Homo-oligomer: A and B are copies of this chain.
Amino acid sequence: MSGETNRLLGMAKEIMAQPDGRELDMLASTGEQVSVALLAIALQALGKQAVSYAGWQVPIKTDSAFTKARIRSIDDAKVRKDLNAGKIVMITGFQGVDADGNITTLGRGGSDTSAVAVAAAIKAAECLIYTDVDGVYTTDPRVVSDARRLKTVTFEEMLEMASLGSKVLQIRSVEFAGNYKMPTRVLSSLTDPLTPLAEEAASGTLISFEEDKNMEQATITGIAFSRDEAKITVLGVPDRPGIAYQILGPVADANIEVDMIIQNQSVEGKTDFTFTVPRAEYAKAVEVLNSSVKAHIGAAAINGDTKVSKVSVVGVGMRSHVGIASQMFRTLSEEGVNIQMISTSEIKISVLIDEKYMELAVRALHKAFDLDSAK
């Protein structure tokens, strides 16, 4: 059934450039309904007891933000009753129902989110998410052939790995797993279907919420990266309170996500303000700045660069180990990679670099932090 939802949405967009969200959700929700019904029938054909549910039948209750709704609550009564009766339960992903009985969809990443949310609602021991990869790696194996699969990652590490470009699980589902402390395992849907369940359930990568890691020791989990970044600099900005908001407010209002932010040291009352946005949003962001910001704040110019990438070292406990940052910077320096911006958090250090050095930087850091050797 792959591509069915996109086919339906394509039909709507042929009719109208920006169709009504409520009707889009009415339309898009049918693809998953077809899938769960056919899957239930297929399981019944194998002699299993199986039952399918649309999100509204469970119900999975959401707010009314059509095409990007948020889950509010899930009633586990029907699902629990069926499971107790030995039935296999299929639930449509990425959709629910609002307080007025309208069908809503959760938007991007909604199917993973639905799975985690239902697992949390029924207090499952573990949520297994079958994907097209067999787990979370220390970095992208397409870039570094020595990349190793991680047996476990913490929730925080997974958040960084996911949001920084290792697109294994959508970040929303990871956040959901975090909020509900739902152990979630990423594993491959492409394994031999005859693999014993116990063996399969021990495979993949478990996103864990157990605090039994030795927090004293810095553990580098992996090297994440995001190729499609863009950098924008607002030059010659008067350095006065509220200037960051005056620049970034209109950008946020245009629904553009801002990531790294730097404000230069002020010189003679003027400063430069630099931030990154997803490369696809670059043109729109520059247009917003030129039309509603530049003259208003008296900036000298707007500059930009769309050939930049972000590389991050991710790991719990790294903040208290100053050696991590200096090792990262030394490694990049030895490879001749210039660092354009730096940002840090409790569990990651990110640098913005020229995109042509991205693979080189990832490989060098993966090796420098011994990620290719099994621990």
Contact = CB atoms under 8 A, between A and B. Distances in A.
Contact of A54 (B45, B50, B103): B103
- Copies of this protein chain in the complex: 2
A40 interface: yes
Given A45-B16, A102-B57, A103-B54, A27 B23 contact: no
Size class of the contact patch on chain A: 20 to 34
Given A57-B101, A57-B102, A24 B37 contact: yes
Given A57-B101, A57-B102, A37 B27 contact: yes
Interface string A139-179: 00000000000000000000000000000000000000000
B19 A26 contact: no
Contacts of A37: 12, 23-24, 26-27
A64 to B, nearest CB: 14
B38 A11 contact: yes
A74 interface: no
From A15, A24, A33, name the one whose CB has the most chain B CB atoms within 10 angstroms: A15
A1 to B, nearest CB: 9
Interface of A: 8, 11-12, 15-16, 19-20, 22-24, 26-27, 29-30, 33-34, 36-38, 40-42, 44-45, 50-52, 54, 56-57, 78, 101-103
